[in-house]
Structure 1
Amino acid sequence: MKIKLETLQHQIDALAAIDKAFSGMDIMSNDPNANYIYANPLIRYRYNDKANIDIKMETGTGKTYVYTRMMYELHQKYGLFKFVIAVPSPSIKEGTRSFITSDYAKQHFSEFYENTRVQLNVINAGDFSARSGRRNFPAQLSEFVEATRQNANQIEVLLINQGMLHSKSMHRNDYDQTLLGGETAPIKAIAATRPVIIIDEPQRFPRGKKFYEDIEAMKPQLIVRFGATFPETTTGRGKNKVTKIDYYRGEPQFNLDAVDSFNQGLVKGIDIDYPDMTEEQANNLYKVKQAKAKELILSKGKKEYSLSVGENLADVDPGFEGNITYAGGTDRELSNGLTLSKDMKLIPGTFAQNYQDEIILQALDCHFKAERENFLRLNSGDNAPKIKTLSLFFIDSISSFRGENDGKGWLAQHFEDILTKKLKKLIDHYEMAIDDREKEYCSFLQATLKSLQSEHQDVYAGYFSEDRGSSDADIQAEVEDILSNKEKLLSFKDKDGNWLTRRFLFSKWTLREGWDNPNVFTIAKLRTSGSEISKIQEVGRGLRLPVDETGHRLNQDEWQSRLSFLIGYDERDFAQKLVGEINDDSPIKLNQEELTDDMIKLIVKAKQKADPKFNEDQLLDDLDAHNVITRSNKFKDDVAFDGQIMSGYDALCQLYPELEQETKVAKDRVRDKNSRDSTTVKLRKQNWQQLKNLWLQLAKRQMIKFDPSVNKDAETVARNVFNDSDNKVFVLQRPQMVHQEVDTTSGNAVIKETQADYSTEYLTMNYGKFLKILAKQTDLSVNLLNNLMIKAIKRLRNNTNYINEKTLGNLIRTFNNQFNERIKTSYSYEPLDFSSSTSIYNAKKHEFVDTVPASVLGVYQSNATSDEKYLYDRPPLRYDSADPELKILNRSYGPKISVFGKLPKRAIKIPRFDNGTTTPDFIFKIEHGNKPIYLVIETKAENMRLGDEEIHIIQQKYFDHLKESGVYYRMATSEQEVHDLINKLENGELN
C-alpha cells in the first residue's frame, strides 16, 4: 500500500493566507551582498517582526504538510532556497524527517513542483563528535551552509531540535575548519545564509527565553511559526495582571482552531471511557503533599504518611498492588515511572493488575468494534477499500512489557491472554460466514491468532527510549516498523500476499509527540500522564483522519469509527477538561452579560454565508424586537421567548444558534461514555428509595426455562418447514446481473432496475458447511437436519443444486419464525443468584444511579407543574406518546399513591424468549395497609406497535413470580383505564 497525499481545502486556505501575508522581495535593495550565492535573496521588512507570520492549526490537521509545501511555494515564486526547521524534541524531528523524505511526499509534491527536490540535512546529537583529536563540522551542516543558488531546482533544508540548537557545539568557534570563507561557529555560518526559519510548536520557543534567543542568533529574515498552541505573555501585577497570547502582528494570519477542527470533521470524534469504581474505592484516595528527592509525603484527610526511597506504597495501603516503591531522585518518580507532583491524587485500586486488565479488556473491545466497522465497511458500498485499525497503549514501565532475561513482562502476558480469548471468540463467530468480506476478516483473525501463538509473534510491538541501545534484533525490527515504516503498519498484506497482523503498539509516552499514524482508533492509558499537559496533545496521536488500504485519505462521511480514548478512574474528568480546552481555543470569548462587538461580528459573518445582505443593523433590530437587549447591548434578565422565561443571553442563542456553533465544540464530537447523555434527567433519590426493596428483587437476573415439550415442538416445526410442497423454501440460485437504465417517458428522470441471470450454472454450497451453519442458527441436531435434508433432496428428484445460500437463509428464517410462534407461551422464569445493573440501578454499588439520559424516558418533552411524588425532577416531562403516556403523567393522584413515574428503557431487563429484553412503561406505589402494592403498567397507544400482545404475555409471565411481593401487572390502553385500576387497588377490589 502506498499513502496518497491529497490536497485538503483547509491546507490550501493556509497556504493562501501565507502568500497574502508574505511581504514580498526587496528587488531594489542597495545591499552589496544582495546577490550572495550562498544565501537567500533579500526579503522586504527582513529581520523585523512585522515580516513574521503565525499559522495556527490544530493537532492532526496537517501543519507539517503545509510548511513543507510552503517551502516549495516560496522557492518557486521568490527563489528562497534555504530554510531551517526548528522543532522542540528529537521525536518531533524524527516525525518531520520521516514525512519530508518519504516517497509518497516526494511523489505528491513533484506533481505541483516539477523537477524540484528538497535536500534535507538533519543535525543529531553526536554529529559534532571529535575524531582523531580534530573538531570538524558535520557534513550535513557544511552541505546546507555552502550550497549555492546555482542549483536552481534544489531546496536546502536544515532540521534541528531545540536541545541541539542550544548546545555548545552549535555556538562554539574553535573548529579546525571554516565555513563560507571564515565562519568558525555553526550558528554564525547559518546566519550568513539569511535563512527563513520555520518553528514547529511555537509554545516551546517563547520570545525572551533562551531557545528563542537561539532562533534570533541565526538572524532569520523571516520566521513562520506553525502550531496549535502559542506562547503567552503577562503584563502588570495583581488586579492589573493581563495574560494574552503572543502572536506576531497581534493575531495569526491563518486560524484553524480546535472548535473548527472538531466541528468541521477535520479530525476524529472522540469517545472517553474509564473503568467504574465503587464510591468507597473512589473516596479512598491519597494526596501527594511533598515529593522530595529522598522522601515522599502522602496525606489522607488529616493523616500524613512518609516514604523514603525504596519503601513500598503497599506499606501505606494494601490497595497499592504491584510492588511499587518510591524511586525519588530529580524526577520524583515511583518505580513504575509515574512522575509525582504536589496535590496529585493516588487511588490505590487503580494500581492493581486486575484494574489494568479491565482497561485492556475495554480497549480491545473498542479496537475490535472499530476494526470490524473499518474492515467490513458495511455502510460504505460494495467492495469499499478496507481500513487497517491500530491501537496505542501507554504503559507505566518497560519491565512490565519487555520483562527480564528475554522473558515477557506481566503486562505483555496479560495482554496476550486477553487478546487470545477475544480472537478465539471472534473467529468462532466469523468462521461460519457466508459473505466474502466476512470470510476475509476471519482469515485475518486466524492469521493474527497463529502469529500470536508463534515463537516470534508479529501482532503487537513496543517502542521505548531504552530500545535505542538494544542489540536484540526483534526489538530493533519492532522499533523500525513503528518509527519509520508507516506504510507497512497501514497495509494488510506484504508483497507475497501474507497478512500483516501488527496493529497493537505499546510505549511509555515516547510516541506522544512527533510520531503519528492516521489509523490509530484506540488509545489506552494504563498509567496517568503524571502532569497537567494539554489534553488535546494527549489524544493527538489518534486525531488524524484515516487512510484506507489504497492510501486514500478519508473524510468524515466515508467511515463510521471514532477515536476511543481509555483512561483510569483518577482522570474521569478528562472529557470535561478536553471540551473546556477545545472551547477555550475559540478566538471569540462569549459574554453572558452583554452583546460584545466580537459576538456581533461572528453572528453577522455566519449569517452572511446564507444571506450576503444580512448586517449588524438587522441583528440589533431583531434582538430589540424580541426584547433581548437594552440600548447599551446588555442582556435583559427575564425574557419571554417561545413560551418560556429565560435570560437574554439564552434567548440570543435560541435566535442565533450560530453563536455557540462557531465557538463551542459540538456535543457529539467529544463524548464521555461513562456519563449519561448530554441531556440528562436527575432522579429524586428519596422517591426511588421507596422502591428499593422491590428493586432488589427486580435486579435479580432471570433465566428462561422452557417446558420439556419444546424439543418435540422444534422437531415438529422442522419437519413442517422441510416438507416444502410449494417450493418457497427450497429454491435454485443463479448468478444475477443488475441492470439499471434512466427512463424519461413519464416526464421525470427515474431509474428502472431489473435483474437477470447472467449464467446458466447454479450457485451451490458445500453440504457439510450448509449443515453446520443450519445447526448453529436453529439449535437443531446435525443428525436430525441431515435426515430431513436427505428426504427433501429426494423429493426434489435428487437435485443438489437446491443446497445454496438462498435455501439456507429461507430455512433458518422460516424455522425461527414458526418455532417462536409455537413456543411463546411454553416457558417460565426462574430467578438466578446474582443481580445485574440496568439503566436505573448500579448492581455493583447496590444503589440507584443519579441521572438517566432523557432519551431513555421519551423522545418528546412537555412543560408541566412539579409533583413531589414523581420519580424524577420535572419539568420538563419526557414521554413517547401524547395518549396515553402524557395524560398519565399530567394526572394528579390521591394520597395513597406515594410515588409514581415512567420507567426508563432497560430499567428492568426482562429476557424475551426470542432474545433481547423488554421493560414496562410505568410504576405506581400504592399504600395499602401494612403492605404496599406496586402497579406496573405496559401502555398501548392507538398506533399499537407490532408485537405488543407478545410483549404483554412476556411481561405477565415475568411479574407472575412477584405476586407475593405485591406486584400487580396490567396492560392499559388509556389514562382512564390506569385511573380505574388504581381506584380498584386502593379499595381492595382486585386480588
Structure 2
Amino acid sequence: MKIKLETLNHQTEALAAIDQAFLGLDTTTNDPDAKYIYANPLVKYRYQDKANIDIKMETGTGKTYVYTRLMYELHQKYGLFKFVIAVPSPSIKEGTKSFITSDYARQHFSQFYENTQIQLNVINAGDFNSRSKRRNFPAQLLDFVEGTRQNANQIQVLLINAGMLNSKSMNRDDYDQTLLGGETSPLKAIAATRPIVIIDEPHRFPRGKKFYTRIEELHPQLIVRFGATFPEVTTGRGKNKVTKPDYYRGHPQFNLNAVDSFNQGLVKAIDIDYPDMAEADANNRYRVKATKAKELILAKQGKEYTVSVGENLADIDPDFAGNITYAGGTDRELSNGLALAKDMELIPGTFAESYQDQIISQALDRHFEAEQRNFLRVEAGINAPKIKTLSLFFIDSISSFRSAEQGKGWLAQHFEELLAQKLQTLIEHYELTMNPREEEYRSFLQATLTSLRSDHQDVYAGYFSEDRGSSDDDIQAEVEDILQNKEKLLSFKDANGNWLTRRFLFSKWTLREGWDNPNVFVIAKLRTSGSEISKIQEVGRGLRLPVDETGHRLTQDEWPSRLSFLIGYDEHDFAEKLVGEINNDIPVSLDHTQLTDEMVRLVVKAKKAANPDEDESALTEKIIEELGDRGIINFSHKFKDKVNFEGQEMSGYEAFMRMCPELAYQTQVAQDKVRNMKHNRAQTTVKLQKSNWNQLKDLWLQLAQRQMVKFDDGVNQSSATIVSDIFKDQDQCIFVKDVKQNIHQELATADGEAVLRETQQDYHGKYRTMKYGAFLKQLVLQTDLPPALLNELMITAMRDRLGNDTDYINEKTLGNIVREFNKRFKENVWQRYSYVPLQFSASTSIYDAQKQEFVDELPANVLGVYAAEAMKDDRYLYDRPPLRYDSSDPELKILKRTYGDKITVFGKLPKRAIKIPRFDRGTTTPDFIFKVEREDHPVYVIIETKAENMRLGDEEIRVIQKKYFDQLQASGVYYRMATSEDEVHTLVNKIARGEIEPDDITH
C-alpha cells in the first residue's frame, strides 16, 4: 500500500496565510555578504519578532505537511534554501524524518516543485563520536552548513531535537575541523548560514528557557512556529494577573482551532470509556501532598500518610494491590513506573491487575468493533477498500511488558490471553459464512491467532525510550515497524501475499507526541499519564483521519470514523475536561449578556458561506432586525432575561443560540464529537423510518436507474471550435510567463494614515515552468478534450506565436486555458444535453440497489451538520428528535412547519441520495421530498433550496434537476426550486387541497 497525499483546503489556507504574513526579501540592503553562497538571502526585518510567524493548527490536521511544503514555497519564490527544523524530542524527530524522506511525500511535492529536492540532514546523539581520538564534525552537519546556492534545485534542511541542540557536542568550539573555513563551533557555523528556523510543538520551547535560548544562538532571520498549543506568558499581579498564549505578533497568522477541527470533520470524533467502580472505591482517594527524594506524603480527609522509599503503599491501605513501593529519587516515581506530581489523586482500587485486565478487555472489544466495520466496508452495495485498524496502549512500565527474567512481562501475558479469547470467538462467528469478504476477514483473524501463538509473534509490538540502540533483533524489528514503516503498518499483506497482522502497539508515553499514524482507532491508558498535559494532546495520536488500503485518505463524509479512548475511573471527568479545553480554544468569547459585533460577524460568515451571493451588510441588518422583532434583544442589543422562543421559556442568549445555531457550530464542539460513553449516547447515525421510506419505493426504483449525460450532436465540434478560438485569441493573454518575484512591503504614512506599500521585483529573471507532458496531461484531464487536438494546437501556438519559448508552459497558462474554456463552454453548450437511461441501477447513500431496499440508518452528518430538538412526527422520514440540517434558514424552518393531513411522508434528502449527473461531471441531489395523497394518484413534490456545489449557481442547478425529472417520466413527480419556507409550505399545502393542479406547476 502506498499512501497518497492530497492537498486539503485548510492546509493551502495556512500556506496562503504564511505567504501573506511573510514580509519578503530585503532588496535594498548594502550588506556585502548579502550574496554569500553558503547563506540564505537576507529577509526583510530579519532577527525581529515582527518578522516571525505563528501558525496554530490542531493536532492531526497536517502541520508537518504544511511546514514541509512551506520550505518548497519559500525556496521557489525567494531562493531561501537553508532551514532548521527544531523539534522537542527524538520520537517527534523520527516522525518528521519519516515523512519528509518518504517516497509518497517526495512524489507528491514533485507535482508542484519539479526538479527540486530536500536534502534532509538529521543530527542524532552519537553522530559526533569517532573511533579516532580526533574531534570531527558529523557528515550531516558538514553537508548542511557547506551546501551552496549554486545547487539551485536543492533545499538544505537540518532536523534536530531540543536535547541535541542543547548538548555539549553542539555547543563546544574545540573541534579539530573547521566549517566554512573558520568556524569551530556547530552553533556558530549554523548561524553563519542565516537560517530560517521552523519550531514544531512551540509550547515545548518557551521564550527565556534554555531550548529557546539555543535557537536564538542560531541567529535565525525568521522563525515560523507550528503547534496546537503555544507557550504562555503571565502579566500583571493580583486581580490584574492575566495569562495568555505568547504569540509573536499578538495573535497567530493562521488559526485552525480545536472547535473548527472537530466540527468540520478534519479529525476523528472521540468516545470516552472507563470501567465502572463501586461508589466506596471511587471515593477512596489519596491526594499527593508532596513528593520528596526520600519520602512520599499522601493526604486523605484531613489526615496525612508518609511513605518512605522502599515502603509498600499497601501498609497504609490494603487496596493498593500489587506490591507497589515508593521509588523516590529525582523521578519521584512509584515502583510500577507511575510518575507522581503534587495534587495528583490516587485511587487504590485502580492499581489492581484485574482492573487493568478490565481496561484491556474493553479496549479489545472496541478494537474489533472498529476492525469489523473497517474491514467489511460496503459502499453503494459493493465492497469498498478495507481500512487497517490499529490500537495504541500506554502502559506504566517496560518491565510489565518485557521481563529480563521471563521474556514477557505480566501485562503482555495477560494481553495475549485476552486477545486469543477474542480472536477464537470471532473466528467461530465467521466459520460458516458464505460472504467472500467475511471469509477473507476470517483468514486474517486465523493468521493473527497463529502468529500470536508462535515463538516470534508479529501481532503486537512495543516502543520505549530504552529500546533505542537495543541489540535484540525482535525488538529492533518492532521499533522499525512502529517508527519507520508506516505504510507496512497500514497494509494488510506483504509482497508475497502473506497477512501483516501487527496492529496492537504499546508504549510508555514515548509515542505521546510527534508520532502519527492515521489508522489508530483505539487508545487505552492503563495508567494515568502522571501530569496535567493537554487532553487534546493525549488523544492526539488517534485524531488523524484514516487511509484505506489504496492509500486514499477518507473524509468524515466518506467514512465517519471515531476514536475510542479508554481510561481508568480516576479520570472519569476526562470527557468533560476535553470538551472544556476544545471550547476554550476559540479566538472569541461569547457574551451571555449582550449581542456583540463579533458574534454577529461569525453568524454572517457562516450564512454567507452557505449562500455566497448574500450581501454581508444586508445579512447583518436582517439578523439584528429579526432578533429585535422576536424580543430576544432590546434596542441597545442586550439579551433579555426571559424570552418565549418557540413555545419554551428561556434566556435571550439561549434563544439567540437556538435561532443562530451557526454560532454554536463555530464556538462550541458539537455534542456528538466527544462522547462520555457512560452518560452520553449522542447519535452519530440516524435511523430511517422504513415504513415511510417504503411509501417512496416505486419512485425510488426509477430514481435508482443510472442516467448518463449525453450532449447533443455538434457539441464535440463546438468544444473543438471553442478551444481553437482560445488558442488563437491574442486579446485574452492566455499564454503568460510565470515570473518568480520578490514582494517588498513597507509601512508608510500618507494623509495621516498608515498605509502598506508593496512593490514586486523579478527574482533573478527566472520563470516557473512545467514539463510539457505534465502540462498536456492536466489540460486533457481538466477539459476532457482529445489529447491529439490539444497537442496540435499547442505545437501551432508555440511555433507561430510564442517562438518555441518553453517558459510559456506553466501553471498560469494552464489555468488560463482551462478557465476560459469552462467559461465559453458554459455560455455556449451547457444546456445542450439530455439524460439517457442505462441498463443498471445504482446504489446511493439511502438505497441499496442490489437488495432493492432502503438502508437501515445513515451517518448523521450526511443528513446535516447541525442538530435541533423537535416534536416527533410519524410522517417524517427519520426518527426525530433531533432534526439534522445544514442551514437554519430555510432548511430548519421547512422541517419545523406544520403540513396538512394529505402530506403522508416528508423529509430532507441526504447528500448523494439521488446522484443526478451534472454536465460538469459532478452530481447533485435536491433537498426535500414530500408525498402528497391525491384522489387519483400520489404526487411527489421534490424541492431544491440551495446550490449544492458553489461552483454552480441556483439557475444551473435548477436547469439540471428540472431536465432530469422531466426526462425521468416518473408518474406524479414535480420539481420546484424554492427560496423560503413560506414558498414550500404554500406550494405543498395548495397541491394537497387541489388549489394547484399539476399542470400549473413549473416542472
Quickly say closer, same or farther: Cα 1:751–1:562, change in 2 above 3 A.
farther
Unaligned runs of 5+ in 2: 684-703, 711-832, 842-850, 852-868, 883-1003
- How big is the shift at 1:27? 2.4
Query: How high is the TM-score relative to the length of structure 2?
Result: 0.68
| Counterpart position of 1:660 | 664
| Counterpart position of 1:224 | 224
| Counterpart position of 1:928 | none
| Counterpart position of 2:655 | 651
Q: Does the 8 A contact of 1:374 with 1:559 survive in 2?
A: no
State the SS of the aligned residue for 1:608: helix
Please identify runs of 4+ aligned residues in structure 1 that moved more than 4 A. 738-744, 747-755, 853-862
Quickly say closer, same or farther: Cα 1:54–1:391, change in 2 above 3 A.
same
Give the alignment of 1:532-571 within 5 angstroms. 532-571=532-571
Unaligned runs of 5+ in 1: 680-737, 756-808, 810-852, 863-991
Q: Does the 8 A contact of 1:373 with 1:561 survive in 2?
A: no
Quickly say closer, same or farther: Cα 1:517–1:314, change in 2 above 3 A.
same
Give the alignment of 1:686-725 within 5 angstroms. none
Percent identity over the alignment is 73
Is 1:637–2:641 an aligned residue pair?
yes
State the SS of the aligned residue for 2:305: strand
Amino acid at match of 2:125: A
State the SS of the aligned residue for 1:249: coil
Is 1:115–2:115 an aligned residue pair?
yes
Supply the distance in 2 between the matched residues of 1:82 and 1:176 (Cα, whole angstroms). 25
Supply the distance in 2 between the matched residues of 1:565 and 1:448 (Cα, whole angstroms). 23
Give the alignment of 1:791-830 within 5 angstroms. none
Give the alignment of 1:960-979 within 5 angstroms. none
Q: Does the 8 A contact of 2:289 with 2:342 survive in 1?
A: yes
Amino acid at match of 2:661: P
- How big is the shift at 1:620? 2.7
- How big is the shift at 1:598? 2.2
Amino acid at match of 1:603: V
| Counterpart position of 1:493 | 493
Give the alignment of 1:247-646 within 5 angstroms. 247-379=247-379, 381-609=381-609, 610=611, 612-615=614-617, 616-646=620-650
CA deviations 1:665-719 (Å, max 9, x no partner) are 111111111114469xxxxxxxxxxxxxxxxxxxxxxxxxxxxxxxxxxxxxxxx
| Counterpart position of 2:184 | 184
| Counterpart position of 1:5 | 5
Supply the distance in 1 between the matched residues of 2:570 and 2:309 (Cα, whole angstroms). 24
CA deviations 1:470-499 (Å, max 9, x no partner) are 322111111111111111111100111000
Supply the distance in 1 between the matched residues of 2:707 and 2:630 (Cα, whole angstroms). 54
- How big is the shift at 1:298? 1.8
| Counterpart position of 1:74 | 74
Is 1:161–2:161 an aligned residue pair?
yes
Q: Does the 8 A contact of 1:373 with 1:560 survive in 2?
A: no
CA deviations 1:165-215 (Å, max 9, x no partner) are 122332222222221122222111111111111111111222233322222
Amino acid at match of 1:584: N
Q: Computing the radius of gyration over CA atoms, which structure comes out larger, 1 or 2?
A: 1
Quickly say closer, same or farther: Cα 1:740–1:648, change in 2 above 3 A.
closer
Q: Does the 8 A contact of 2:872 with 2:880 survive in 1?
A: no
Amino acid at match of 1:52: N
Amino acid at match of 1:510: T
Quickly say closer, same or farther: Cα 1:741–1:139, change in 2 above 3 A.
closer
| Counterpart position of 2:64 | 64
State the SS of the aligned residue for 1:183: coil
Supply the distance in 2 between the matched residues of 1:630 and 1:11 (Cα, whole angstroms). 42
State the SS of the aligned residue for 2:141: helix
Give the alignment of 1:937-976 within 5 angstroms. none
- How big is the shift at 1:561? 3.4
Supply the distance in 2 between the matched residues of 1:127 and 1:743 (Cα, whole angstroms). 63
Supply the distance in 2 between the matched residues of 1:659 and 1:208 (Cα, whole angstroms). 38
- How big is the shift at 1:154? 0.5
State the SS of the aligned residue for 2:672: coil
Amino acid at match of 1:659: L
Q: Does the 8 A contact of 2:289 with 2:343 survive in 1?
A: yes
Supply the distance in 1 between the matched residues of 2:209 and 2:679 (Cα, whole angstroms). 42
Supply the distance in 2 between the matched residues of 1:754 and 1:115 (Cα, whole angstroms). 47
Quickly say closer, same or farther: Cα 1:477–1:355, change in 2 above 3 A.
same
| Counterpart position of 1:775 | none
Supply the distance in 2 between the matched residues of 1:539 and 1:339 (Cα, whole angstroms). 19
Supply the distance in 1 between the matched residues of 2:181 and 2:217 (Cα, whole angstroms). 19
Range with greater deviation from structure 2 (20-29 or 270-279): 20-29
Give the alignment of 1:230-249 within 5 angstroms. 230-249=230-249
Range with greater deviation from structure 2 (582-591 or 607-616): 607-616
Amino acid at match of 1:669: K
Supply the distance in 1 between the matched residues of 2:601 and 2:871 (Cα, whole angstroms). 36
- How big is the shift at 1:164? 1.6
Supply the distance in 2 between the matched residues of 1:743 and 1:74 (Cα, whole angstroms). 44
CA deviations 1:430-484 (Å, max 9, x no partner) are 1111111001001001111111111111111111111224322111111111111
Q: Does the 8 A contact of 2:870 with 2:880 survive in 1?
A: no
- How big is the shift at 1:344? 1.4
Q: Does the 8 A contact of 1:309 with 1:327 survive in 2?
A: yes
Quickly say closer, same or farther: Cα 1:560–1:651, change in 2 above 3 A.
closer
Q: Does the 8 A contact of 1:380 with 1:559 survive in 2?
A: no
Amino acid at match of 1:234: T
Supply the distance in 2 between the matched residues of 1:152 and 1:311 (Cα, whole angstroms). 65
CA deviations 1:306-355 (Å, max 9, x no partner) are 21111111222222112211111111101111111122111111111111
Range with greater deviation from structure 2 (335-344 or 632-641): 632-641
- How big is the shift at 1:130? 5.8
Aligned partner of 2:676 among 645, 649, 672 = 672
State the SS of the aligned residue for 1:250: coil
Amino acid at match of 1:637: D
Quickly say closer, same or farther: Cα 1:590–1:754, change in 2 above 3 A.
closer
Amino acid at match of 1:16: A
State the SS of the aligned residue for 2:369: helix
Amino acid at match of 2:674: V
Amino acid at match of 1:53: I
Supply the distance in 1 between the matched residues of 2:373 and 2:342 (Cα, whole angstroms). 43
Quickly say closer, same or farther: Cα 1:860–1:632, change in 2 above 3 A.
same
Amino acid at match of 2:108: H
State the SS of the aligned residue for 1:20: helix
Equivalenced residues, count = 707
| Counterpart position of 1:910 | none
Range with greater deviation from structure 2 (635-644 or 73-82): 635-644
| Counterpart position of 1:46 | 46
Supply the distance in 2 between the matched residues of 1:54 and 1:596 (Cα, whole angstroms). 27
